[in-house]
Amino acid sequence: MDILTVITVLIIISALFSYINERFFKMPAMIGVMTISVMVSLAVLIIGKIGDERFNVITRLAYNIDFSKVLLDVMLGFLLFAAALQLDNKKLNVLKRPVFILSTLGVLVSAGTFGAMFYGLSLLLNIHIPLIYCFTFGAIISPTDPIAVGSILKKTKIPARLETIISGESLFNDALGLILFVTLLGVAKQTGPDISFTETLQVFVKEVLGGILLGLTFGVVGYQLIKPIRDYQTIFLISVAVVLGISLVGSRLHASIPLAAVVAGLMIGNDKFSKEHEGSEFFNSIWHLMDEVLNTILFVMIGLQLLVLPFLADYWLIGACSIIIILLARMMSVTLNAFFELRRINLTSLSILTWAGLRGGISIALALSLPNSAYKEIILSCCYCIVIFSVLVQGLTLNKVVNTVVGPKEENEHL
C-alpha cells in the first residue's frame, strides 16, 4: 500500500470503530475502539486460518504501518504537547515533589523489581532470557504511558490530587525510561568492554537536558509569537509548527522529543495565557479535539498490532504472569516512594496509584524497536499482553476501584 492508501484506510477504520462504540457499546472512547480493534484482529486471524481472503486489506494495513516509527517520530510529540496543555500548572507546582519522585525513583524501583522478577519467572518456566534483557524489558514497561493515562483519567472520578500526580508522573517518566532503555540495550549488545560512565552521562545530557532546553526554547518562542496574535488560524499554525520543530530538531540532536513536547506544552498552556488571551478557548478546544482524534487512531493501531504478532499464542503463559509482575512492581515502587516521601503509607492512595499505572503504545513501540534477537518475540508478546490488560481491564475498572477505596465523604490528602 502507498502512504495515502494507508492513511485513508486507517482513518476510515478508526471512524467506523468509533461510530460502532458510540452507537452500540458506549464504552469510554479509547477503550471502546481498542476493544473493537482487538476483536476484529482476532476475527481476521481466525478467518485467515480457514482460508477466507476477504479481510486481507486489514492485514495488509497492519503490516504496512511501521507502528514504532509512526508513534515515536510522528504522533508522540502532538499527543504529549496536547496533554501538557491540559495539565493544571498550579496543581502540578504544588505536587512537584511526589511527581518528581515517582517519575524518577519510581521508574528505577519498578524497572529493577520487574526485571528481577521476570528473570526468575523465565527460569521457572524454563525460558532462557539473559538478566540484562529482563532489565531492559523493565525499562520498557515501567514508565506509565501519558497517552493511555490521559485518555482514561478524563472519564474517571479519581480524586483531583491523585489525578494531578498520576498525570504529571506519566508526562515526565518517559525520559528516564528512555535513558534506561538505551543504556541497558547498549550493555546487552556490547561485545567489548562495558559501557563507560562517560557514555552513559552523554546519553543523559543529550536526552534529558537537551530535551528540556529544546522544549524551553520552542516554548518561549511559540508563546511570544502567539501572545500578540488574535487570528485563530495563525495561532493554531504556530502551535503545530512548534511541535513539528521539536520533533525535527530533537531527532537530529538526539534530544528527548517527549520531554521537549511536554515542557513546551506546559509553557504555552500556562494559566496566564489561558486567562488573558482571547483565543485561548479556541486554542484549547482545537488541541483537545486533535488529542481525541489522534488517540482514537493510536488505540486502533494498537489493536491491529495483534495481526503482526502471530507468535503471541506461543507465550501466553509468561505473558499472563508478566501482568501480575508489573502490578507487583508498580505497587512496590509506589509504596517505597510514598514511604520515602511521607514516612507512612496511605492504603487508599496506594491502591489507586497502583491500578492507575497504565501502560500503552509507547511501550509497544519501544519493544518493536528492539533489534532482532532470540528474546525479542518473548518481550514483545509479554509487553502486548500487559498493555492490552492495562487499557482494557485496568482502564475499565479504575472507577470501580476508586469508588471502592474512596468513601463518599473521604478526602484524599496524601500521596
Task: Judge whether residue 37 has pLDDT over 70.
Answer: yes
Q: Does an H or E element contain 174, and which?
A: helix 160-189
Q: Which residues contact 368 (CB under 8 A, 6 or more apart)?
A: 67, 68, 380
In a domain, 29, yes or no: no
CA distances from 206 to 126, 175, 212, 254 (A): 39, 11, 10, 6
Which amino acid appears at position 191 of this protein?
Answer: T
Q: Look at phi and psi of residue 61 and say left if phi exceeds 0, alpha if psi is from -120 to 50, else beta.
A: alpha
Total domains present in the chain: 1
Per the domain annotation, does 2 fall within a domain?
no
Q: What is the pLDDT of residues 74-109, one digit of tens each?
A: 898 999 999 898 887 788 888 888 898 899 999 999
The pLDDT-based confidence of 24 (bands split at 50, 70, 90) is very high
Closest CA to 249 of 277, 215, 208: 215
Distance CA 167, CA 407 (A): 22
Would residue 238 count as lying in a domain?
yes
How far CA 54 is from CA of 8, 46, 50, 307, 369, in Å, comes to 18, 12, 11, 15, 31
Name the percent of the chain lying above pLDDT 90. 46
Q: Which residues contact 248 (CB under 8 A, 6 or more apart)?
A: none
pLDDT over threshold 60, residue 415? no
The domain in which residue 75 lies consists of 67-406
For 68-115, give the DSSP string. Answer: HHIIIIIIHHHHHHHHHHTS-HHHHHHTHHHHHHHHHHHHHHHHHHHH
List Cα–Cα distances, 127 to 116, 235, 315, 318, 379, in angstroms: 14, 54, 10, 9, 12
- Domain assignment present for 315: yes
Question: Can you give the CATH number for the domain in which 134 is found?
Answer: 1.20.1530.20
358 falls within a domain: yes
Helix 160-189 crosses helix 361-368 at what angle (to 10 degrees)? 0
Whether 316 has a pLDDT exceeding 80, the answer reads yes
Report yes or no on 396 lying in a domain: yes
Give the type of residue at 383. Answer: C
- State the average pLDDT for the chain: 86
pLDDT at 147 over 50: yes
Q: What percent of the chain has pLDDT over 70?
A: 91
**pLDDT on residue 134:** 96
Would you say residue 35 lies in a domain?
Answer: no
Q: Is residue 128 part of a domain?
A: yes
61 contacts 305 by C-beta, under 8 angstroms: no
pTM of the shown model? 0.88
Give residue-wise pLDDT tens across range 287-313. Answer: 989 998 999 999 999 999 988 887 787
Residues 402 and 35: beta-carbon distance below 8 Å: no
Question: What pLDDT, in 10s, does the model give residues 351-395?
Answer: 999 999 999 999 999 999 898 888 999 999 999 999 999 999 999
